[in-house]
A and B are shown apart, each in its own frame.
Chain A
Amino acid sequence: MSVHKPSPHDAAALHVTGQARYVDDIPLPGNAVHLAFGLSSIARGRITAMALDKVRQAPGVIAVLTAADLPGANDVSPSIHDEPLLSDGDVHYAGQPLFLVVADSHLAARKAARLGEVTYEEEPPVLTIEDALEKDWRFEDGPRIYTKGDVDAALAAAPHRLSGRIEMGGQEHFYLEGQAALALPQEGGDMVVHSSTQHPTEIQHKVADALNMPMHAVRVETRRMGGGFGGKESQGNALAVACAVAAQLTGRPAKMRYDRDDDMTITGKRHDFRIDYTVGHDAEGRILAVDFTQYTRCGWAQDLSLPVADRAMLHADNAYLLPNARITSHRLRTNMASATAFRGFGGPQGMVGIERVMDHLAHDLGIDPVELRRRNYYRAAPLAETGKPETTPPTPGNKLDPGDVASRGATQVSSGLGAAKRFGGEFSPAQPAEDSNTTPYHMEVTDFILHEMTDSLLERADYASRKAAITEWNASNDRLKKGIAFSPVKFGISFTLTHLNQAGALVHVYQDGSVHMNHGGTEMGQGLFQKVAQVAASRFGLPLDAIKITATDTGKVPNTSATAASSGSDLNGMAVKAACDTIRDRMAECLAELHQVQPAEVVFAEGEVRVGTEVMPFARAAQIAYENRVSLSATGFYKTPEVAWDRIAGKGRPFFYFAYGAAITEVVIDTLTGENRILRTDILHDAGASLNPALDIRQVEGGYVQGAGWLTTEELWWDDAGHLRTHAPSTYKIPACSDRPDIFNVALWEGENRAETIYRSKAVGEPPFMLGISAHLALSDACAACGPAFPDLQAPATAEEVLRAVKRAQA
């Protein structure tokens, strides 16, 4: 079987020889045009005049477009149509695209784009949480609130109480390949678009609207991205639409790529958050009630902010059973680039809140932070019999705004409402008793394995003796201080917008026995294509090289969901499996009949097909099937069972299952400069029965480093006028090779998914990102070694912030 094996990335050989093609590498016909946006220089106001003659006269310029010149919808929003491709007169952030330059080279377009003379009627930008709250600039009518139990009563009754606040910054994706798109005009006005996108269907839909054409006239292809991390779920819309419009206008192929500074200025980032907490607890550190208020700056447009903020609420518990909990979430509108999806999708921010609470409690009570966490864990769930999961009866959802049904931005009380009607109705699951193992959104946790994982990790990492050694070391060192911290991860897997949990596949077997595989997932480096190809190879009993991996293509598999929410291999693996099984069953039936055996006696293994006593190569079997007029092409489809969620009420089962992980990080800080290093990291991560342990471990390593980067060196900084001043790697510090831990031990937990997923594996894209929280906690621990007070370390813990925290600890 090909699954569960550590095969290298499918395109590794192409990558190391420079042959792997990204959008910008696709050979262009000589007459191609290149595009650049002219950007706003202010954060808020109205355009009073736009003089573009100099732009038009610049060398190489073919056309200059403003909103009035667009043939169709001026809209690149993935949610509520509040994001024009080109400004309609209002300016909402510094760096907003105002006009589009079409030129004969990338450089000519960029140079000309600087020549626009725009005059504005400026207004003071809304940039801070306070400002947005005061003006009531928010998305949705008011704060969203999820509640479990009677929080006020429980807080009042609690023997002890604790309050605090943590602020955490956003994060630039810095996918190494910047945003890029290419549109190739076809006969009859059709359009082929190559886009570096996680969501080809969304690109297809947006391009069709912009051209006033049905979706069938647009085909989108994505072979690979040079990194995505969520930054290519919706942020590629503008480039693809601009290219399609320019291609239609000029009849020539049109390409656009943002240079890095433009990319960082124009596109959205991870949401920054402020979380206020009040906790009621007992003397042993058991939480009795918690009240969280989350504030996030969403930027100027809604984009995917609602589901991001929802997911932050859904991870406010992380691994802890909170008997009474209230989570209040404010989604604030500000004059900044529109914050968007980023690995974890709000989950990390929610988790940082509760992990901070744990640390604060442990510090105040003088209890070991690991012990305190364990006291608050969800209860271990007994292993249920692995039967067939019940499938939920289909329930009609409300009619959606047809605009954006395929996007996570489509949160207009969508299918969740239809599904959620079941609660309290005929199909209602029994309401769990108050003391049961439920989350603040009333979902029973039935697969909790962190007790065992924690034991195992503490032992592997030799936590107890290292902690003691660090305490001793700190006692004899004044300038340098070490810190060590543990943090667990429990991350919910599924799209919270229920109807997105579906996937399609298309598989062909050719008469020579080679297999063409296609599905709706996109490859951004995570190894999805290889993992799904391993599934196909296993179903046919073929070696991996018999399976041709092909580019994601809306013409082959339609109506796909974004490759996001870590769901890529769960969904597409199942869809491909279904398609392969259909073909395999047809072949088996044909061969069985020819050989007068039962279809069940036809076995596909090791590149061969055994029919009763006869053995033939797979290729021969395919040929026989073809000659007997058996269809060797099939589609496959999958929808995740059991999920049903009402995001307004905050009740239901948004997740099919949880993925778990745990990390221990050790750091050292310089108390005079705030400089710091990660010395050692130990990780134990749960990928179920991993489809490919090598690729999964790589996701864990990369996710951890990216997560630690978010909370340490990566600082986004806007000036008072709303200009992002950290718009290049010179000023925005992502982890470099020397920043990774000196000692880095990563292991996968041996287990299998209790939920019936593809070969019992678990999703692994996002969960390890949150292991990086342990780095922040370790820094806080080191700061705490400097004095008696709680260091109250904020994020990112830059050297300056570490220094401030040291001072606070000493105070």
Chain B
Amino acid sequence: MTQVSMTVNGKPVSGEVEGRTLLADYLREDLRLTGTHIGCDTSQCGACVVHVNGKAVKACTMFAAEAEGAEVTTIEGMANPDGSLNTIQQAFQDHHGLQCGFCTPGMVMSAAALLEENPKPTEAEIRDYLEGNICRCTGYHNIVKAIMAASGQDVSAIAAE
């Protein structure tokens, strides 16, 4: 067992984990932050994306021990301090960027990382960036639209409405 400590959603946490414990399992099982979803267990679907030191990471790809000392943000830490939805979350709701919602936490986390890097992405850049996030329900149309809207761009031009 290894001792780990990190900051998750602004709060210091620490605990004992096995060396092979994945960050995703640590968040879900030990910290009970179940908004980070497991969709494939093999680093392909993106449902488990979190931020580690500001970078989008698939939490099933990383050991908890590797996050020692890191700043981790999960979907549960994304709302505004007063509990209201942040811009991206609000845009996913307003633009119907979800159906079953299982991919949504990962999508929101990836979108946040993208907008951090590239505050006004084009549609093509958004699609390219989301290559590692699978959604089986929506056909992606409104996910792209929600991210465009969250970046303050006009989405009235995007068809299908």
Contact = CB atoms under 8 A, between A and B. Distances in A.
B13 interface: no
A19 B98 contact: no
B104 A701 contact: no
For chain B, the bracket of interface size reads 35 or more
Interface in B69-87: 74-76, 78-79, 85
A176 interface: yes
Interface in A1-30: 8-9, 11-22, 24-25, 27
A18 B75 contact: yes
Interface of B: 28, 32-42, 44-45, 47, 74-76, 78-79, 85, 88-90, 92-94, 96, 98-105, 108, 126-128, 130-131, 133-144, 159-161
A613 interface: no
A180 to B, nearest CB: 10
A704 interface: yes
Interface string A628-645: 000000000000000000
A734 B134 contact: yes
Interface in A155-186: 173-178
Contacts of B79: 17
A697 B39 CA distance: 25
Given A728-B40, A745-B160, A15 B101 contact: yes
A260 B39 contact: yes
B35 A19 contact: yes
8 contacts: A12-B92, A176-B135, A224-B100, A525-B101, A525-B137, A702-B138, A728-B42, A729-B45
Nearest to B110: A737
Contact of A16 (B39, B93, B138): B93
A27 B103 contact: no
A268 interface: no
Across chains A and B, which 6 residue pairs bring their CB atoms closest together, nearest first? A18-B35, A525-B100, A226-B102, A15-B101, A705-B139, A18-B75
A747 B161 CA distance: 7
Query: Which of B133, B139, B144 neighbours the largest number of chain A CB atoms within 10 Å of its CB?
Result: B139
Contacts of A178: 39
A227 B75 contact: no
Contacts of A24: 34, 38
A228 B100 CA distance: 9
A225 B40 CA distance: 16
A195 to B, nearest CB: 15
B41 A8 contact: no
A698 B127 contact: no
A638 B20 CA distance: 53
B30 to A, nearest CB: 12
Given A18-B75, A701-B138, A737-B144, 20 more contacts: A9-B96, A16-B89, A16-B90, A20-B101, A22-B102, A24-B38, A173-B136, A177-B39, A224-B101, A226-B39, A229-B136, A524-B100, A527-B99, A730-B44, A736-B130, A736-B134, A738-B127, A740-B127, A740-B140, A744-B141
A175 B89 contact: no
Nearest to B32: A27
B128 A706 contact: no
B37 A177 contact: yes
Given A525-B137, A740-B141, A13 B101 contact: no
Query: Which of A703, A706, A729 neighbours the largest number of chain B CB atoms within 10 Å of its CB?
Result: A729
B134 A729 contact: yes
Nearest to A525: B100
A92 B124 CA distance: 46
A695 interface: yes
A27 B108 CA distance: 24
Query: Which of B39, B44, B89 neighbours the largest number of chain A CB atoms within 10 Å of its CB?
Result: B39
A544 interface: no
A615 interface: no
B103 to A, nearest CB: 5
For chain A, the bracket of interface size reads 35 or more
A17 B134 CA distance: 18
Interface in A737-776: 737-738, 740, 743-747
A738 B160 contact: no
B111 to A, nearest CB: 10
A18 B8 CA distance: 15
B145 to A, nearest CB: 10
B39 A17 contact: no
A229 B99 CA distance: 12
A197 interface: no
Contacts of B101: 9, 11-12, 14-15, 20, 224, 226, 525
Interface string A248-266: 0000000000011100000
Contacts of A743: 159
B33 A18 contact: yes
Contact of B99 (A9, A13, A704): A9
Contact of A25 (B34, B89, B98, B135): B34
A642 to B, nearest CB: 31
A133 interface: no
A525 to B, nearest CB: 3
A411 interface: no
Nearest to A264: B40
A228 B136 CA distance: 10
A694 interface: yes
B85 to A, nearest CB: 6
Contacts of A11: 101
Contacts of B135: 176, 737
A526 interface: yes
Contacts of A729: 40, 42, 44-45, 134
A740 B161 CA distance: 16
Contacts of B144: 737
A698 B75 CA distance: 24
A9 B32 CA distance: 25
A701 B32 contact: no
A747 B136 CA distance: 21
Interface in A197-235: 224-229
A12 B98 contact: yes
A730 B40 CA distance: 10
B157 to A, nearest CB: 11
B131 A227 contact: no
A176 B100 contact: yes
Contact of B93 (A12, A735, A746, A747): A12
